[in-house]
Amino acid sequence: MSRKGDECAAVLIDAKAESDELFYSDQKLSRLVNKWPHLRLIALAGKNPVVWERLGYLLRQGLIYDFHSLPADKSRLLYCLGHIQGLVALERNSPLLPLKQTAKGYGHLIGTSAPMQKIYSTINRISRVDSPILITGESGTGKEAIALTIHKHSPFRNRPFVAINCAALPASLIESELFGHEVGAFTGALSRKIGKVELADNGTLFLDEIGDMPIDLQSRFLRFLQNSSFERVGGLKNIKINARIIAATNVNLYDAIENGQFREDLFYRLNVLSFHVPPLRERCEDIRLLADHYLEKFRTTYNKPKLSFTAASYELMNKYAWPGNVRELINAIRRATILAKTRFIQPENLGLGETLEDVRDMASSLAEARADFDRRFIHARLVRNNFNISKAAEELQVSRVSLYRLMKRLDIPKPVNGETVSQGEK
Ligand SMILES: Nc1ncnc2c1ncn2[C@@H]1O[C@H](COP(=O)(O)OP(=O)(O)OP(=O)(O)O)[C@@H](O)[C@H]1O
């Protein structure tokens, strides 16, 4: 069923109520979606869990707008069609506006620290440009969340955002996941499969952990980037695709190139526009905003409307190093929300394996931690050599001048008594 001649174009997909197959193949769906930018698809399906799982996947991929169970509830269906009509009318009439900067962040991203502000202005500048983007940063810093924001802010925002994690798939599957395959391409290829690249046509293809892409697939992927076309595995037909590529990695690609694990030409092809997402410990001002944001969310999820953090919990979160970054923070807050027995989240509810006393002692940045280590190490050598600068410098394998400089920078006092420094040393 379709409605034509007005702003709304919604098609309902048939599904045999008892079947575990969708009536429309992936291929047909992506053709439909790619041909009409303002088309929104609603699926009607029986209650078969296999089909529902598939529909959930299609919804996440942006290939369908909604799905309803059969027999369809007519009023819900009409409501949904009306909603689509309004949405499409808005899309057609609205120019591409910058995402909204809020008191807490930008679009769905939370954080007002200087590094995040810089990222927001980068997103504003690059989202309309149709070139590959490379996002680097530790795991859990928000690379995928940022990629999605770029997509939502781009001219392709109504098209699919298709994500693939290159590290999560065995090397044998990744090629067919990316490029699809034809029937009989390999043992077990019983039907044609549309790959992620094809599904992302006119949209965004997000390649997470690109540094883990097997090296032989990198050549094939580079060819695709150069020609904007590819063949399915076992196929001969050349398929033209127009997709914005965003790649992300938490490995150092320069090292990977040096070690022969990553192609240099692919790196330069991807590294047209690039930026780095700093770890959470380097943008501590965002911790409280993120914590409050996610607590608000989990208060509703776990029905604890009055729950709040104690001052000690804020202090612990602020001083903790967050090796797992925002993802770890979210998990800690979820856990704390579940475990809190009163209306306050105590430091121990956060399950960070650190007490407030531990982190109070701790350096707040890597630079500070290094300085702390250097101070103790150098001091120990000085003590062992009775503050004889020449001997300590020799043991430390630095010049005397360097040792003096280090002592000054690290604020290591020379003892008033017992010093055996020779005159004239600088
Ligand atoms: N600035 C932010 N504001 C709100 N939520 C965020 C922010 N950054 C990250 N998140 C959330 O933290 C979680 C982890 O983020 P994401 O998956 O984007 O990280 P990543 O860097 O891509 O991780 P990985 O390298 O492991 O794939 C997600 O739930 C994401 O929504």
Residue 328 near ligand 1, beta carbon < 6 Å: no
C-alpha span between 336 and 331 (Å, rounded):
8
DSSP string, 73-125: -HHHHHHHHHHHHHHHHHHHH---PPPPB-SSEETTEE--SHHHHHHHHHHHH
Q: Is any ligand 1 atom within 6 A of the Cβ of residue 145?
A: yes
The closest of 84, 62, 63 to 9, measured between CA atoms, is: 84
Q: What sign does the dihedral 217-221-227-230 (CA atoms) show?
A: positive
**Is the C-beta atom of 330 inside 6 A of ligand 1?**
yes
The CB of 113 under 6 Å from ligand 1? The reply is: no
Q: Do the beta carbons of residue 26 and residue 180 sit within 8 Å?
A: no
CB atoms within 10 A of CB 319: 19
**Does residue 417 form part of some domain?**
no
Ordered DSSP codes for 238-256? -EE---EEEEEESS-HHHH
Tell me, using a 6 A CB cutoff, whether residue 278 lines ligand 1: no
Q: What region does 421 belong to: left with phi over 0, alpha with psi -120 to 50, or beta?
A: beta
Is residue 265 domain-shared with residue 303, that is, in the same domain? no
341 in a structural domain: yes
- Over residues 189-214, the mean pLDDT reads 89
Centre of ligand 1 to C-alpha 158, Å, is 22
Per-residue model confidence (pLDDT) at position 92: 62
Would you say the CB of residue 315 lies under 6 angstroms from ligand 1?
A: no
The answer to the question of residue 399 being in a domain is yes
Kindly tell me if the per-residue pLDDT of 5 is higher than 60: no
**Co-location of 155 and 241 in the same domain:** yes
* pLDDT tens-digit readout, 53-71: 777 777 766 677 788 887 8
Instruction: State residue 9's pLDDT score.
Output: 44
How much is the average pLDDT of 337-364? Answer: 78
pTM reported for the whole predicted model: 0.67
Q: Is residue 385 packed enough to be buried (19+ CB in 10 Å), middle (13-18) or exposed (0-12)?
A: middle
| Residue carrying the six token digits 């530790």 | 138
Q: Which protein residue has the closest C-alpha to ligand 1 atom 9?
A: 142
Is ipTM over 0.95?
yes
Residue to probe by mutation, ligand 1, list 60, 135, 141, most atoms within 8 Å of CB = 141
66 lies in a domain? Answer: yes
> Per mean pLDDT, which of 115-119, 123-127, 422-426 is the most reliable?
115-119
Domain shared by 352 and 214, yes or no: no
244 lines ligand 1 (CB under 6 A): no
Residue 420 resides in a domain: no
CATH number at residue 317: 1.10.8.60
Distance 147 CA to ligand 1 centre (A): 10
For residue 201, tell me if it sits in a domain.
yes
| 132 and 218 belong to one structural domain | yes
Phi, psi at 295, each rounded to 5°:
-65, -40
Percent of the chain with pLDDT over 90: 31
Residue 160: asked if its preceding bond is cis (omega within 30°), the reply is no
Q: 49, 65, 93: which is the final residue of a domain?
A: 93
What's the confidence (pLDDT) of residue 98? Answer: 60
Q: Report the nearest atom of ligand 1 relative to the CA of 330.
A: 12
Could you tell me if 255 and 164 lie in one domain?
A: yes
Tens-place pLDDT, residues 204-218: 999 999 998 888 889
Whether the CB of 208 sits within 6 Å of ligand 1: yes
For the domain that residue 403 is a member of, what is the CATH number? 1.10.10
Q: Domain check: are 205 and 190 in the same one?
A: yes
User: What does the pLDDT read at residue 58?
Assistant: 76
Q: Is residue 419 part of a domain?
A: no
Ligand 1 centroid, distance to 330 Cα (angstroms): 9
Atom of ligand 1 at shortest range from CA of 249: 25
* Number of independent structural domains in the chain: 4
- Coil vs helix vs strand at 274: strand
Asked if residue 259 and residue 123 are part of one domain, the reply reads yes
Which residue, judged by its Cα, is nearest atom 8 of ligand 1? 142
Closest to 327 in 3D by CA, of 284, 282, 294, 365: 294
Domain with residue 83: its CATH number is 3.40.50.2300
Distance 115 CA to ligand 1 centre (A): 15
Residue 293 and residue 262 share a domain: no
Q: Can you give the CATH number for the domain in which 132 is found?
A: 3.40.50.300
Give the residue from 245, 262, 277 where a domain finishes: 277
pLDDT of 393 over the 90 cut = no
Instruction: Give the chain's mean pLDDT.
Output: 81
Q: Is residue 251 domain-shared with residue 291, that is, in the same domain?
A: no
Q: Is the CB of 14 under 6 A from ligand 1?
A: no
- Tell me the helices (H) and strands (E) count for the chain, helix number first: 17, 14
Distance in Å, CA 130 to ligand 1 centroid: 23
For ligand 1, atom 7, the nearest C-alpha belongs to 142
Residue 216 Cα to ligand 1 middle (Å): 29
Q: Does residue 332 line the site of ligand 1, with CB under 6 A?
A: no
Q: What are 41's strand-pairing partners?
A: 11
270 has pLDDT over 80? yes
179 CA from centroid of ligand 1 (Å): 26
Q: How far is CA 244 from CA 32, 221, 297, in A?
A: 19, 14, 32
User: 398 lies in which domain range?
Assistant: 366-409
Q: Are residues 30 and 177 in the same domain?
A: no
- Ligand 1 within 6 A of 140 CB? yes
The CB of 111 under 6 Å from ligand 1? The reply is yes
CB 231 within 8 A of CB 238: yes
Nearest to 163, CA basis, from 123, 130, 196, 114: 196
Q: Which of 179-183, 244-248, 382-386, 415-419 has the highest mean pLDDT?
A: 244-248
Q: Domain end: 68, 93, 118, which one?
A: 93
Number of CB atoms found within 10 A of residue 265's CB: 13
Which residue has the least CA distance to atom 10 on ligand 1?
142
Residue 124 shares a structural domain with residue 199 = yes
Residue 11 pLDDT level (bands cut at 50, 70, 90): low
Q: Are residues 345 and 398 in the same domain?
A: no
Per-residue pLDDT of 68-86, as tens digits, reads: 887 878 888 887 887 777 7
Q: Separation of 343 CA from ligand 1 center, angstroms?
A: 28
Amino acid at 332: A
* Distance from Cα 184 to the centre of ligand 1, integer Å: 38
Alpha-carbon span 396 to 124, nearest angstrom = 49
Confirm if 357 and 318 have CB atoms less than 8 A apart: no
- Residue 206: CB atoms within 10 A of its CB come to 27
Q: Is residue 69 part of a domain?
A: yes
